């Protein structure tokens, strides 16, 4: 997916990556590296390098390819984690997780490798057909020592690499048929560069561009702060992007506070790191915590990519409350980048979050890619979260449904107790709800459901339905956001702008007249559920202009309510519920 300019060049003279066409080290111009979108290139850190080396050594017996100081990884579209590996200005292969990690070499990588296994030798007669795009046929194979079915292999002819691909047979199955499904074909003649620059060299080569990025971001922060004269905060998650945003705000402004929400799902390393960084910057750390996740699980089921109620309940709600208690409202600088997702690409650089009525958000690093972020961190010698060195690409909640299976495999290795806690719950939930084991093991829970869809309703007619049984007092208070509620001897009358409902509290029967009658019955049920099963997240409170929402600690809706319904729109229990759950 294209989310912005692919900003990666390579200086052939200095043999290092550039974030602009110009190299400050030699004064020359770089060559654009042909990477795939979105182009959020990052530097391979210690665990990335170790795992890559181990995978290549296991499959190809090579120690030579991953011998450089600077290796880049570029995340590309795949059903799980997959990165293009950039070394010496070339994409040498793809590194992906497919039940286990595997390296898929390209012609450049296979040529530069000193492979001792995973090699298929073919006769001269197979050379031209393979270069024209043909697969490797078993009858043309001269040698395939140790090759096994589904293994990634390098195809050679007269000791020269001509293709790479996946073996479809074992070494002893050479009678007939396709032996290797080729993926890349060709002959690569480029000599491998010998220079092995350090990370300091890379920073020096990109210094002018880094200074430009910093200057523009600082000016942006100053400009936005003047336009929105509110108390300034920096939302610090413990990740690399918010770390850079924090540094930039610190350079631009004298007065700001750091915000941190412990969702109850943070890595222990992250919590410790956030406190250490706040001490380093010597700024007030305003923190909040949430204990709602495990309670909400029983009501809403596991969160998924399509139903991220966890973010709303465990992060945005306590963050909104934190701002409300300390400032009323705030201008918050955030480490959001457009290269992370299409939603963030479309959000712009300054925005107001739908869920948070008391915060204006702005991102000074919106247009930066990950390589620019990392080079800035190394340039400024900023203390980044140690989890990155353990192999985590992004820092967040340890059970995030947006995680790849590769992330959960990593979690199993680094924090087995957290992995066991989450997957034990998932297995028990799967047992209770009749889901197969693969729902857990293949991560299908991450794609469950979606935000509820409203039915088309029934236009302007009387419709009979049922609602949740509740006392008259509860119904009157719970339905205030939908309209005026009046009382008669046998029933309640709810009047909204476009509909009217007669509610018989003893039986739970309801008669609705007006536009989209079935939708209105559904809304009544959602309003009742929201009131009776409120989790106390208080996300709704900032959206009430009349200050009619109170937590004592139970939810109360006073007669000051203006019936606008905005509190219902932002309630996670309503937003992520389905009719079946009512």
Q: Same structural domain for residues 436 and 465? A: no
Q: What's the whole-number mean pLDDT along residues 558-578?
A: 84
Query: What total of structural domains would you count in the chain?
Result: 3
What confidence category does residue 93 fall into, taking pLDDT thresholds of 50, 70 and 90? very high
Query: Please, what is the end-to-end C-alpha distance for the chain in angstroms?
Result: 38
Q: Same structural domain for residues 465 and 442? A: no
Q: Which residue has the higher pLDDT, 299 or 258?
A: 258
Q: How many residues does the chain have?
A: 582
CATH number at residue 279: 3.40.50.620
Q: Would you call the peptide bond into 25 cis, given omega within 30 degrees of 0 as the criterion?
A: no
Q: Same structural domain for residues 484 and 410? A: no
Residue 276 CA, distance from chain mean position: 25
Q: Could you give the maximum distance between any two Cα atoms of the chain, in Å?
A: 96
CB neighbour list of residue 241: distance below 8 Å, 6 or more residues apart:
335, 336, 337, 365, 368, 373
Q: Same structural domain for residues 53 and 149? A: yes
With respect to residue 558, please indicate whether it lies within any of the assigned structural domains: yes
Identify the bridge partners of residue 181 per DSSP, sorted by sequence position. Answer: 166
**Percentage of residues in the chain having pLDDT higher than 90:** 65
Question: Which range of residues forms the domain containing residue 159?
Answer: 37-185
With respect to residue 422, please indicate whether it lies within any of the assigned structural domains: yes
Q: Same structural domain for residues 250 and 361? A: yes
Q: Same structural domain for residues 405 and 367? A: yes
Q: Same structural domain for residues 159 and 245? A: no
Q: What's the whole-number mean pLDDT along residues 228-239?
A: 96
Q: Same structural domain for residues 124 and 222? A: no
CATH number at residue 73: 3.10.400.20
Q: Are strands 9-11 and 16-18 parallel, antiparallel or unpaired?
A: antiparallel
Q: What is the pLDDT of residues 14-60, one digit of tens each?
A: 999 999 999 999 999 999 999 999 999 999 999 999 999 999 999 99
What confidence category does residue 485 fall into, taking pLDDT thresholds of 50, 70 and 90? confident
CATH number at residue 536: 3.30.310.10
Label residues 319-331 b or e (16+ Cβ within 10 Å = b): bbbbbbeebebbb
Q: Same structural domain for residues 419 and 498? A: no
Q: Which of 424, 447, 470 is the last residue of a domain?
A: 447
With respect to residue 501, please indicate whether it lies within any of the assigned structural domains: yes
With respect to residue 433, please indicate whether it lies within any of the assigned structural domains: yes
With respect to residue 240, please indicate whether it lies within any of the assigned structural domains: yes
pLDDT at residue 427 greater than cutoff 60 = yes
Q: What is the pLDDT of residues 243-298, one digit of tens each?
A: 999 999 999 999 999 999 999 999 999 999 999 999 999 999 999 998 889 989 98
Q: Same structural domain for residues 286 and 163? A: no
What confidence category does residue 457 fall into, taking pLDDT thresholds of 50, 70 and 90? very low
pLDDT at residue 458 greater than cutoff 60 = no
């Amino acid at each position: 997916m294209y989310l912005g300019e692919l900003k990666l060049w390579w200086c052939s003279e200095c043999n290092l990556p550039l974030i602009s066409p110009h190299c400050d080290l030699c004064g020359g111009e770089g060559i654009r590296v042909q990477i795939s979108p979105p182009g959020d290139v990052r530097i391979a850190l210690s665990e990335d390098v170790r795992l890559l080396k181990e995978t290549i050594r296991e499959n190809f017996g090579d120690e030579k390819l991953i011998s450089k100081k600077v290796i880049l990884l570029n995340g590309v579209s795949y059903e799980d984690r997959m990165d293009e590996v950039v070394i010496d200005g070339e994409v040498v292969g793809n590194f992906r997780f497919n039940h286990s990690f595997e390296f898929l070499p390209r012609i450049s990588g296979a040529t530069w490798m000193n492979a001792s296994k995973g090699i298929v030798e073919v006769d001269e007669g197979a050379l031209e057909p393979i270069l024209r795009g043909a697969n490797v046929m078993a009858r043309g194979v001269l040698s395939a020592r140790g090759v096994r079915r589904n293994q990634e292999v390098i195809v050679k002819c007269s000791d020269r690499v001509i293709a790479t691909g996946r073996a479809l047979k074992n070494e002893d199955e050479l009678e007939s048929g396709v032996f290797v499904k080729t993926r890349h074909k060709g002959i690569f003649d480029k000599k491998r560069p010998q220079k092995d620059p350090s990370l300091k060299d890379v920073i020096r080569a990109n210094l002018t561009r880094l200074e430009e990025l910093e200057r523009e971001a600082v000016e942006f922060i100053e400009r936005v702060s003047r336009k929105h004269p509110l108390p300034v905060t920096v939302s610090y998650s413990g990740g690399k992007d918010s770390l850079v945003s924090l540094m930039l705000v610190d350079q631009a402004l004298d007065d700001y506070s750091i915000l941190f929400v412990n969702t109850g799902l943070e890595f222990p390393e992250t919590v410790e790191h956030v406190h250490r960084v706040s001490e380093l910057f010597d700024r007030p750390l305003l923190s909040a915590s949430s204990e709602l996740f495990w309670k909400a699980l029983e009501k809403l089921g596991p969160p998924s990519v399509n139903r991220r109620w966890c973010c709303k309940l465990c992060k945005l709600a306590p963050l909104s409350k934190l701002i409300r208690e300390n400032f009323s409202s705030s201008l918050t600088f955030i480490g959001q980048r457009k290269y992370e997702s299409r939603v963030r690409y479309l959000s712009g650089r300054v925005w107001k979050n739908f869920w948070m009525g008391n915060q204006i958000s702005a991102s000074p690093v919106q247009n930066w890619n990950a390589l620019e972020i990392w080079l800035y961190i190394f340039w400024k010698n900023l203390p980044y979260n140690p989890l990155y060195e353990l192999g985590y690409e992004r820092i967040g909640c340890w059970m995030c449904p947006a995680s790849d299976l590769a992330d959960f495999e990593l979690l199993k290795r680094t924090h087995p107790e957290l992995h066991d806690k989450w997957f034990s719950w998932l297995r028990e939930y799967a047992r209770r709800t009749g889901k197969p084991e693969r729902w857990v093991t293949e991560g299908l829970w991450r794609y469950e459901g979606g935000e509820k869809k409203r039915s088309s309703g029934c236009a302007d007619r009387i419709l009979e339905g049922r609602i949740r049984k509740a006392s008259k007092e509860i119904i009157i208070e719970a339905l205030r956001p939908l309209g005026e509620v009046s009382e008669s001897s046998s029933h309640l009358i709810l009047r909204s702008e476009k509909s009217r409902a007669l509610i018989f509290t003893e039986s739970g029967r309801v008669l609705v007249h007006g536009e989209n009658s079935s939708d209105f019955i559904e809304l009544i049920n959602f309003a009742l559920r929201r009131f009776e099963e409120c989790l106390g997240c208080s996300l709704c409170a900032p959206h009430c202009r009349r200050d009619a929402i109170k937590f004592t600690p139970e939810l109360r809706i006073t007669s000051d309510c203006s019936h606008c319904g905005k509190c219902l729109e932002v309630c996670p229990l309503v937003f992520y519920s389905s009719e079946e759950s009512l």
